[in-house]
Structure formats: structure tokens, C-alpha cells
A = this chain, B = another copy of it.
């Protein structure tokens, strides 16, 4: 149940482009520098995003990348599906539906997988780049975010992971 490094880079780059949506084309080098991403790797990612028509490129000197649509119309689900594939923990929604109908002994398990995917899809399809850069996400309207109290005090800068311990 993980997003790849590449997927995270893609999201960071897209957020950055969303913040600068008014500024025209941004150089790969600049994105890489500001978000601290490996430049050559980022290049491949941007190319993929371009082929998926989410960004467009300007070639030659003064070139670079920019969003092709308004940040409010680019959903996180699109980016994540492009880079990391289906949101389901196993196979994809359609295959899961087939398995639920055919694999009787395991149908309940596949149904749970489908429920998990639906829950993730609901969130990611309702969150856009605009939501991310404005600081409020639309699916969090239940006061959950704002009602948060009792935050832990963190002294150290490095998150430490104790060996063998599961943290969630």
C-alpha cells in the first residue's frame, strides 16, 4: 500500500507548478532545485506528465514546463494513477468486481479490497492541486482537521524509527 518515490516527486513537482501557475514555463532545473529532486529523474517524470496532457512543455531556450489545466481541475487521483497505477491494494476495481462474482471462497476478501479502494478514490478524486496549495482540502469538512488537540511535542529534528516497531 505504498506510493513510489517517483509518485511523490510527481506530486511535489505538480504542487510547485500549481503555485506558480501564473508564471509561465518553469525550467526543470528550477523545479528540481526548489523541491530538491534529482534533475534527470524529474525530467522523465515531467515527460510522462506531459504525455498524459497534464502539463505542457516549451522547448528551446526560455523553455520549461507549466500546467495545462487549472490547478482546480487536476485531481490527485490522476497523478497517482498515472505514476503508480490503480488505487486498489490488489489488481484494479474492475478485476476485483469480477473476482467478487467468480471466486466464491475469497469474494469477501476482494470486497474489502474494493471498499478500501473506493475510500481512497473518494478522497483522491475530490482533492485537487488547488486544494493543496490553498491549504484546505475539501474532504475534511467534519472538523477533524481543525478540532485537533493534544499534539505531541517533538524535540528532535529527525523522526526516529525504533527497530521492529510498527508505527501505525
Interface residues of A (CB under 8 A from B): 1-3, 8, 11-12, 15, 76, 80-81, 84-90, 92-95, 97-98, 101-102, 105-109, 111-113, 115-117, 119-124, 127, 131-133, 135-137, 139-140, 145, 151-152, 154, 159, 161, 165-168
Contact = CB atoms under 8 A, between A and B. Distances in A.
B132 A3 contact: no
B154 A98 contact: yes
7 contacts: A2-B90, A15-B109, A81-B166, A85-B166, A86-B166, A93-B165, A111-B137
B108 A168 contact: no
Given A8-B90, A84-B1, A94-B159, A140 B167 contact: no
Given A3-B1, A3-B89, A120 B119 contact: yes
A53 to B, nearest CB: 14
Most chain-B Cβ atoms within 10 A of its Cβ — which of A97, A123, A127?
A: A97
Given A90-B3, A123-B119, A15 B106 contact: yes
A33 to B, nearest CB: 14
A110 to B, nearest CB: 10
Contacts of A119: 116, 119-120, 122-123
A94 B152 CA distance: 10
Nearest to A16: B105
A109 to B, nearest CB: 6
A2 B135 CA distance: 28
A137 B121 contact: no
A133 B107 CA distance: 9
Contacts of A159: 94-95, 97-98
